[in-house]
Amino acid sequence: MKNKITILILASVLGLIALSSIQAYLISNTYELKKKAFIKETDDALEGIHEKNELDSLGDVWKEDLRNHLNDYKNNRITKAEVLSRFFIKTDSLNTLHKTYYEKELEAINLDYDVKFKQELTSIVIIEGSKLDTIYPVKNEIRTKIFGTDFKTEDGHKTNTSSWYTESEYIHQKDGEIVTDTYDLEVKTINYIQIKDWKRIVYGRMAVLFFGSLLLFLFVIGLLYYSIKNLITQKKIAEIKTDFINNITHELKTPLATLSIATKSLKNETIKANPEAFKNTLNIVDRQNERLQKLIDQVMTNSLSNEDIVLNKEQVVDTIYFNNIIEDFKLSKQYNGLTIKNEIYASEIVLRLDKFHFATAILNILENAIKYSIEPTIITFKTELKNGNYCLKITDNGIGISEKNQAHLFDKFYRVSDGDVHDVKGLGLGLYYTNQIIKAHQGSITIQSELQKGTTFTIKIPVN
């Protein structure tokens, strides 16, 4: 059974890990999809922004300027490097205006998050027939940004690439004559956007999913925990029941065996002829009968919880009541190895108790002190008044109870199963009953114990 539970717990943990991994994979996939959708949504909103009047005319300005520089280059008036440096000087000078216009357009779109834009140059190429003359990129030129804010490319998102293709005319001298020639020009650029706090926005859009997954996860863990706990409890109950059946069988066997021998003896002619022996045997029958009755009563009484117990409370004077209990107990246990130290101080406090039930509760503890004793048995019975509570302390010098077992001591049918304790008879009901009775008196019972040293039971009841 234990193995089965361990396997079940292991399987559940593995299942939970697998489930979490799948869930994590799905969440990460959803995150990627949501991220892409969000960027696309922003990109769509920004679409056509460069075709707006002011930005468009700004585009015309740098394109015209570039064409002029290229004409100078074609007439060998400037070098390629100069074309590029003039191009960048021009775009730099236009950039402040570009930013202003861009922000104005952004405001008109009315996005509820902050977006920055950057345009990078990919290439400037002159095409004449099959001849390509690359102006950009060139060696030693690392600059890429032409318009917008200079954020790190990896911190932004690429939105689109654009290509400007045009035919350009230029006038130059050829063999002493002025001629007009054409060339094709291709300028390629890439656009990037940087969205402030985009992760927070995407996570925000996934909040329901996160929260739902977490709840589901907690629910599954809770369910597993509950099921396994239930299973363990069921297992314990099954064990307790088996123990109880074993114990009660054991308890019933002895008086029944004695009764059977006694009745056989009563039929015996020699015993019949001897009145003394006959009386003794009858006494044995009586005692065993009483014992069987007691056992049945114990089982019946202990099927009640503290709410079901009907108390018949009376006023008792502590010293008289407890002294009587001790005296009667001493009388019933007449053997030399027993010392009961009576530390009942003459406080004469009036308590309201059910005399019968409360005495039985205390006798259970006293009986146990002898049952689980190490000879010579010394029991101390002490009373005191503390913080408005009446305290009874019953200490023995017996075998003690380990900390692990103390926790279950007041459970129904519980018996300590380690060591040779099981050699002592019992049903595991005595302390359960005692606890129920004390609780029914609005009191409490606690235990301090050390193995091989002894045990102290402390009972507290309120003084009215």
We find the least distance from the C-beta atom of residue 408 to ligand ADP, in angstroms, to be: 9
Residue placing its CB nearer to ligand ADP in the complex, 379 or 461: 379
Name the site residues for ligand ADP (rule: CB under 6 A).
364, 368-369, 371-372, 396, 398-401, 409, 414-416, 421, 426-432, 455
We find the least distance from the C-beta atom of residue 443 to ligand ADP, in angstroms, to be: 17
Residue placing its CB nearer to ligand ADP in the complex, 126 or 427: 427
We find the least distance from the C-beta atom of residue 235 to ligand ADP, in angstroms, to be: 20
Q: List 218's β-bridge partners, or say none.
A: none
State the amino acid at position 84 in one-letter form: L
Report whether 319 contacts 344 (CB < 8 A): yes
We find the least distance from the C-beta atom of residue 401 to ligand ADP, in angstroms, to be: 5
Orientation angle between helical segments 318-332 and 355-371, nearest 10 degrees = 40
Residues in the chain: 464
Distance of CA 427 to the CA centre of its chain: 38
We find the least distance from the C-beta atom of residue 294 to ligand ADP, in angstroms, to be: 12
Residue 310 CB neighbour total at 10 angstroms: 8
Residue placing its CB nearer to ligand ADP in the complex, 21 or 417: 417
Residue placing its CB nearer to ligand ADP in the complex, 289 or 417: 417
- Which residues, 6 or more positions from 164, have their beta carbon under 8 angstroms from its beta carbon? 63, 185, 186, 187, 188, 189
Q: Tell me the residue number closest to ligand ADP, measured at CB.
A: 426
Residue placing its CB nearer to ligand ADP in the complex, 157 or 357: 357
Whether the ω angle into residue 137 lies within 30 degrees of 0, i.e. cis, is yes
We find the least distance from the C-beta atom of residue 434 to ligand ADP, in angstroms, to be: 8
Residue placing its CB nearer to ligand ADP in the complex, 102 or 414: 414
Of 102, 104, 101, nearest to 117 by C-alpha is: 102
227-234: long-range contacts at Cβ-Cβ below 8 A with a sequence spacing of 24 or more? 228/5, 228/8, 228/9, 228/12, 231/5, 231/8, 232/5
- Which residues, 6 or more positions from 59, have their beta carbon under 8 angstroms from its beta carbon? 50
Strands (E), 196-333: 314-317
We find the least distance from the C-beta atom of residue 11 to ligand ADP, in angstroms, to be: 36
Residue 243 CB neighbour total at 10 angstroms: 17
Helix (H) or strand (E) holding 393: strand 389-396
Residue placing its CB nearer to ligand ADP in the complex, 381 or 432: 432
End-to-end CA distance of the chain: 50
Residue placing its CB nearer to ligand ADP in the complex, 281 or 397: 397
DSSP state for residue 112 in the 8-state scheme: S
Whether the ω angle into residue 376 lies within 30 degrees of 0, i.e. cis, is yes
We find the least distance from the C-beta atom of residue 412 to ligand ADP, in angstroms, to be: 9
Residue placing its CB nearer to ligand ADP in the complex, 158 or 250: 250
Largest CA distance in the chain: 167
We find the least distance from the C-beta atom of residue 448 to ligand ADP, in angstroms, to be: 11
